[in-house]
Structure 1
Amino acid sequence: MLSKRLLEEMNTQIKLELYSAYLYLAMAAHFEENNWGGFAKWMAMQAREEQEHALKFFEYIHDRGGKVTLQAIDAPPSAFGTHEEIFAEVLKHEQSVTARINLLYSIAVEDKDYASQEFLNWFVKEQVEEEKNAAQVLEWLKMAGGAVPALFQINALLAQRGD
């Protein structure tokens, strides 16, 4: 059984994972509207991953006999800056998600909830990958310095995600 605090925080995490999906979908739309299909594909796949993360929490709460309480999801921004600014925001966002996962893990440790610690281990590892991927694209963009030929190359690389 989940403690009241961990249950509340996991329900909040569902909302935050769905917000992440919404944010990345908004970014995908921005890139698509500006003819950057590779960047759009990368963001759309990221949005799908975040939805899957929300569902993992949804299922886990039910598996532990808890009640899922869905919360309102904030609207994401609809205007974005440069490629580099967007990926700086992605990295910052992923770092905030990591902080949330660490909070959940800390609560599970305090509660001596070993099952939740095991469940959350997957997210701890996932966040290392998420931050690494965002940081890598951000570094490529910094090296590109806004040069259009380099952006086209990065766009082509990102278009290969999932292939």
Structure 2
Amino acid sequence: MDKTVSELLNNQINKEFYSAYLYLDIANYYDAKGLDGFANWYEIQAKEEQDHAMLFYRYMQNNDEPVKLLSIDQPDNAFSNLLDPLKVSLEHEKYVTALINAIYAAAQKVNDFRTIQFLDWFIKEQGEEEKNASDQITKMELYGGEARSLYMLNSELLTRAYAPPSLVL
């Protein structure tokens, strides 16, 4: 495997674990506000990000590439209202999309078709992640200012259940 592609993939492991930390931080914020549905949604989101990290980890191992685990930064967000974490989530998903696109471009440059095929699932997943984050902002802006609507939105998010990724390595 090309050295640049390998380094970018390895870095992505760390970025995915950071994403899990970020989403646990957001879940913690909402839990402290008494919004167990929002907390549930972000706890599941954190689990998904851990799964993504492990998919990159396993892909590296399956291709005889060394994995170097790096330290994970602490999230440093100070939320001042219920909308802030949703906006942070969308911006973070856009950042992750850019990271995956950069790996994809590096793999294309060296005709690493196996890595390109592996990343195809993540490209689709990031589209879903950005849409979910954007939809949550829209719903919060529309309904979040009224207690009954916020309660209903929170109840909707409480129904989210974890589903492991369907990617086969």
Specify if TM > 0.5: yes
**Displacement, 1:78?**
5.8
What root-mean-square deviation, in Å, do the aligned CA atoms of Structure 1 and Structure 2 show?
1.2
Partner of 1:117: 116
Percent of pairs with identical residues? 40
SS in 1 for 2:83: helix
Segments of 5+ residues of structure 1 without an aligned counterpart are none
Q: Deviations over 1:103-124 (max 9, x none)?
A: 0000110010000000000000
CA distance in 2, matches of 1:13, 1:65: 17
Q: Output one character per residue of 1:30-66: Cα deviation in whole Å (capped at 9) or x when no partner.
A: 1112211000000000000000000000000011110
Q: CA deviation at 1:145?
A: 4.9
How much has 1:81 moved relative to structure 2?
2.6
User: Which shifted more, 144-153 or 9-18?
Assistant: 144-153
Query: What SS is found at the alignment partner of 1:83?
Result: coil
Most deviating of 124-133 and 140-149: 140-149
Whether the 8 Å contact between 1:30 and 1:79 is mirrored in structure 2 is no
In the other structure, the counterpart of 2:141 is: 142
Superposition TM-score, scaled by structure 1 size = 0.96
Structure 2: gaps (5+ residues): 163-169
Q: Match of 2:107?
A: 108
| Structure 1 stretch displaced more, 72-81 or 49-58 | 72-81
Task: Give the alignment of 1:62-77 within 5 angstroms.
Answer: 62-77=61-76
Instruction: For residue 52 of structure 1, give the secondary structure of its aligned residue in structure 2.
Output: helix
Letter in 2 for 1:123: F
Compared CA separation, residues 31 and 50, structure 1 to 2 (3 A):
same
Runs of 4+ in 1 over 4 A off after TM superposition: none
Corresponding residue of 1:30? 29
Match of residue 160 from structure 1 = 159
Q: Residue in 2 aligned with 1:95? A: 94
Q: TM-score, normalised by structure 2?
A: 0.92
Instruction: Give the partner amino acid of 2:47.
Output: R
Does the CA-based 8 Å contact 1:41-1:158 persist in structure 2?
Answer: yes
